[in-house]
């Protein structure tokens, strides 16, 4: 396996190729896809699986006309894949090797708010933060990234992000392609824009959504290909971009099996030829391959009825080539995708004790900007709530809720599309369509420590399109967030 981090030299330099295509097939996939290393771990005396992550500066030759200054975890760009099994207790030593405050948030993870790594868990330069929790959720492709107050876009854009794979004992999961980096491949998709000197452009942007880059990186690789040696390959797609929404499909139009969403496996595979992922979203797909062929994973112009502004401001009107899959002449046999993937219990609207409205517009939610001192919602532990999400302005938003995985009840009054049927932690908001979601807020009450909900277009989040909720014991009221507590 090739390391994702600091591996530029080992790749013999990067050939340069922009991903944006006007007509099909223009891009040359000339670089072998980097596979993020699996993070090493050890068991401590308490039986906890211990990982080490260090945020640090670095540089990498992307072939953009000079070494690009980057940030990464344990390397120059992105970070290793953390992996733990349901039921395991984990501890991560997060060291901040940067010159400024950062944090590390476990996106999609169900865990106590004080371990969540949001803006209330800043890590000062030189400091170590060591959150610990028990992994207790179904197998899923989660991820981690910084979440410092007002600075998330910059920290993620420079390269701080990685995948966190949760495993479980579900037998179907075991029968899916599961050789990491071989037929079970993390695909972290990010768009970047380089300036004339080869540096990442970070300036203000079209429509205020953040930079829409014209170069696609997958696991930090420009113009990547992956050699496939088996009849089926599982792609764990993560939209790790700051602003861009992708509508993924295969360039030749073939169908694939969608097997998972943000929070885990679907009840059954869905045969489809498109999957749309807004920033922060994940999907797992299984693609069948024939010997010797090459097929391109592409992002197509968004064709799901999104309005002009969304297309323009999310980049949803662009065709972008992402990754070429190159099948060997002899392919190892792969098992069929199981017809049943994971037990799935729809949450019942009748169980909801609260319905809340969230209106997104003007970089605010319900006309308020993020305030670290204000609690916007108090949720009682063990209850189920319905949240109604509506976007009222002309720019796209992607709504993310910490702590829970939710289910989508309806989009614009209609049942959700198949790719929104499973567990979600992030959902794209279309113009004029209220998205109703339902979640159960189990465990982990803490009246003083909030979780976040926000737009996952990171420029919007940083500008204040975020709010805070606490989970309290029945009958308890909200406390006060401990402002200014930083880890030294």
Q: What residues make contact with ligand C2O under the rule CB under 6 A? A: 105, 107, 145, 147, 280, 400, 402, 452, 454, 456
Q: Does 454 bind Cu ion (CB under 5 A)?
A: no
Among residues 455, 466, 470, 472, the one that binds Cu ion under rule CB under 5 A:
455
How do 246-250 and 294-299 pair as beta strands? antiparallel
Which of 241, 296 has the CB closer to Cu ion?
241
Q: How far is the CB of 393 from Cu ion (least distance, A)?
A: 9
Which of 27, 457 has the CB closer to Cu ion?
457
By Cβ distance, which residue is nearest to ligand C2O? 107
Which of ligand C2O, Cu ion, none sits in contact with 400, Cβ below 5 to 8 A by type?
ligand C2O
Q: How far is the CB of 330 from ligand C2O (least distance, A)?
A: 40
The candidate with the shortest Cα–Cα distance to 248, out of 228, 277, 270, 227, is 277
Give backbone dihedrals phi and psi of 321, rounded to 5 degrees, phi first. Answer: -85, 135
Which of ligand C2O, Cu ion, none sits in contact with 436, Cβ below 5 to 8 A by type?
none
Which of Cu ion, ligand C2O, none sits in contact with 19, Cβ below 5 to 8 A by type?
none
Which of Cu ion, ligand C2O, none sits in contact with 478, Cβ below 5 to 8 A by type?
none
Q: Does 53 bind Cu ion (CB under 5 A)?
A: no
Selected range binding Cu ion among 22-30, 53-61, 367-375, 455-463, rule: CB under 5 A: 455-463
Q: Does 155 bind Cu ion (CB under 5 A)?
A: no
The candidate with the shortest Cα–Cα distance to 285, out of 319, 250, 257, 321, is 257
Q: Is 177 left (phi over 0), alpha (psi -120 to 50) or beta?
A: beta
Q: Does 104 bind Cu ion (CB under 5 A)?
A: no
The interface with Cu ion within residues 375-434 (CB under 5 A) comprises 397
270 and 418 Cβ atoms separated by less than 8 Å? yes
* H or E element at residue 184: strand 184-192
CA atoms of 286 and 264, how far apart (whole Å)? 14
Q: How far is the CB of 279 from Cu ion (least distance, A)?
A: 9
The candidate with the shortest Cα–Cα distance to 354, out of 424, 422, 436, 447, is 436
Nearest-10 Cα torsion for 34, 279, 191, 324: 50
Q: Does 341 bind Cu ion (CB under 5 A)?
A: no
The candidate with the shortest Cα–Cα distance to 424, out of 299, 272, 239, 249, is 239
Q: Does 212 bind Cu ion (CB under 5 A)?
A: no
470 and 451 Cβ atoms separated by less than 8 Å? yes
Q: How far is the CB of 109 from ligand C2O (least distance, A)?
A: 10
Residues β-bridged to residue 324: 225, 296
Q: How far is the CB of 435 from Cu ion (least distance, A)?
A: 13
Which of Cu ion, ligand C2O, none sits in contact with 454, Cβ below 5 to 8 A by type?
ligand C2O
Structure tokens at 33: 């896809």
CA atoms of 182 and 5, how far apart (whole Å)? 18
Q: How far is the CB of 280 from ligand C2O (least distance, A)?
A: 5
Which of Cu ion, ligand C2O, none sits in contact with 457, Cβ below 5 to 8 A by type?
Cu ion
Q: How far is the CB of 240 from ligand C2O (least distance, A)?
A: 9
Q: Does 153 bind Cu ion (CB under 5 A)?
A: no
The candidate with the shortest Cα–Cα distance to 142, out of 170, 167, 179, is 167
> 10 Å Cβ neighbour count for 10?
10
Which of Cu ion, ligand C2O, none sits in contact with 455, Cβ below 5 to 8 A by type?
Cu ion
Which of ligand C2O, Cu ion, none sits in contact with 236, Cβ below 5 to 8 A by type?
none
How do 221-222 and 275-277 pair as beta strands? unpaired
DSSP state of 114: G
Instruction: Report the residue count for the chain.
Output: 488
Which of Cu ion, ligand C2O, none sits in contact with 280, Cβ below 5 to 8 A by type?
ligand C2O
Site of interaction with Cu ion (CB under 5 A): 397, 455, 457, 460
């Amino acid at each position: 396996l090739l390391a994702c981090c600091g591996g530029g030299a080992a790749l013999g330099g990067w050939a340069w190729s922009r991903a944006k295509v006007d007509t099909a097939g223009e891009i040359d996939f000339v670089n072998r896809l980097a596979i993020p290393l699996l993070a090493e771990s050890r068991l401590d005396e308490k039986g906890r699986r211990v990982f080490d992550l260090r945020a640090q500066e670095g540089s990498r030759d992307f072939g953009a006309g000079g070494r690009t200054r980057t940030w990464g975890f344990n390397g120059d760009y992105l970070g290793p894949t953390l992996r733990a099994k349901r039921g395991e207790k984990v501890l991560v030593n997060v060291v901040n090797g940067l010159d400024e405050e950062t944090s590390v948030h476990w996106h999609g993870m169900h865990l106590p708010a004080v371990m969540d790594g949001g803006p209330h868990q800043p890590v000062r330069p030189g400091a170590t933060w060591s959150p610990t929790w028990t992994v207790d959720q179904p197998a899923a492709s989660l991820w981690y990234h910084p979440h410092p107050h007002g600075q998330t876009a910059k920290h993620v854009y420079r390269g701080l992000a990685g995948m966190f794979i949760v495993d479980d004992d579900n037998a179907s999961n075991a029968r899916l392609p599961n050789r990491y980096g071989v037929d079970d491949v993390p695909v972290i998709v990010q768009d970047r824009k380089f300036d004339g000197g080869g540096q990442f452009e970070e300036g203000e942007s079209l429509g205020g959504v953040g930079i829409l880059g014209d170069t696609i990186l997958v696991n930090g690789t420009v113009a990547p290909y992956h050699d496939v040696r088996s009849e089926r390959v599982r792609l764990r797609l993560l939209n790790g971009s700051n602003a861009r929404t992708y509508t993924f499909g295969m360039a030749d139009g073939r169908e694939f099996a969608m097997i998972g969403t943000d929070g885990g496996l679907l009840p059954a595979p869905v045969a489809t030829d498109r999957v749309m992922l807004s920033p922060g979203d994940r999907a797992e797909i299984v693609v069948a391959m024939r010997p010797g062929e090459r097929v391109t994973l592409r992002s197509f112009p968004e064709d799901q009825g999104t309005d002009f502004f969304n297309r323009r401001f999310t980049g949803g009107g662009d065709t972008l080539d992402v990754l070429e899959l190159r099948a060997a002449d002899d392919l190892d046999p792969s098992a069929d995708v199981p017809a049943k993937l994971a037990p799935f219990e729809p949450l019942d609207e009748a169980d909801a004790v609260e319905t809340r409205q969230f209106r997104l517009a003007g970089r605010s939610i319900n006309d308020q900007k993020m305030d670290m001192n204000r609690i916007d919602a108090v949720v009682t532990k063990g209850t189920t709530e319905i949240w109604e999400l509506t976007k009222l302005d002309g720019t796209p938003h992607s709504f993310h809720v910490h702590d829970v995985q939710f289910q989508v009840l309806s989009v614009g009054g209609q049942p959700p599309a198949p790719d929104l049927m499973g567990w979600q932690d992030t959902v794209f908001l279309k113009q004029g369509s209220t998205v109703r979601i339902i979640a159960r807020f189990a465990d982990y009450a803490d009246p003083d420590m909030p979780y976040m909900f926000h737009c996952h277009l990171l420029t919007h989040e940083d500008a204040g399109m975020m709010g805070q909720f606490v989970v309290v014991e029945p009958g308890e009221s909200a406390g006060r967030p401990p402002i200014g507590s930083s880890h030294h």
